[in-house]
Structure formats: C-alpha cells, structure tokens
Amino acid sequence: MAAGLPYADARCLVAYDDQRNAVAAVTVWSAGPGKPGLLEPMGVHREHRGHGYGKAITVAAAVALQEWGSWSAIVCTPSSNVGAVATYKSAHFSATP
C-alpha cells in the first residue's frame, strides 16, 4: 500500500510506551495545502487502552497534517464506536452528522 500513488500524501504514525512497545497507530492522508486532511484508521492496542495513547496519537496526527498545510483534520468513524468517538472528542474534535 505504501508504494501506491494514494500513499504519496499519507504517513503512518506509531506511538510507543516507555518500554518501546508499539501501543497506537494512525494513518494521515493529506489532500494538499489549504485543504482538509484525514486521520484514518486510528487504533490503540487493547492492552494499552485507557492510558491516553489514543488522544496522543490523534493530536500527533493533526499536527502532522498542519505541518503539511492542511487547514483542518477530519475523521470518519461510526457514532456507535463509542471508544473512538470518546478519543476524538478528548483530542478536541467535534461530532457532526
């Protein structure tokens, strides 16, 4: 996937705990300067949930998009995914219909 054209404006970020274990990951997709960017997918290893890693990786993804010139960051997750919605809200994302 990383060798494909759609990935040219995308990056994967990985968060590690203090024991150097990968605990969370996210992919960010940029539409270019002045356009919104997308964070998707984002996940936290089940054994490491509830420690703030989801919020941290989400904020890091938004910063990466900002550095690329994105004017906003969006996520697309079902409202039924309660854990993801809570994570995105903790990182100051707003829910929209």
Give pLDDT tens digits along the chain (97 positions).
Answer: 667 666 677 899 999 999 999 999 999 999 889 999 999 899 999 999 999 999 999 999 999 999 999 999 999 999 999 999 999 999 999 988 7
Structural domains present in the chain? 5-90 (3.40.630.30)
Q: CA 37 to CA 75: how far, in whole Å?
A: 9
What pTM does this model have? 0.89
**Pairing label, strands 72-74, 36-44:** parallel
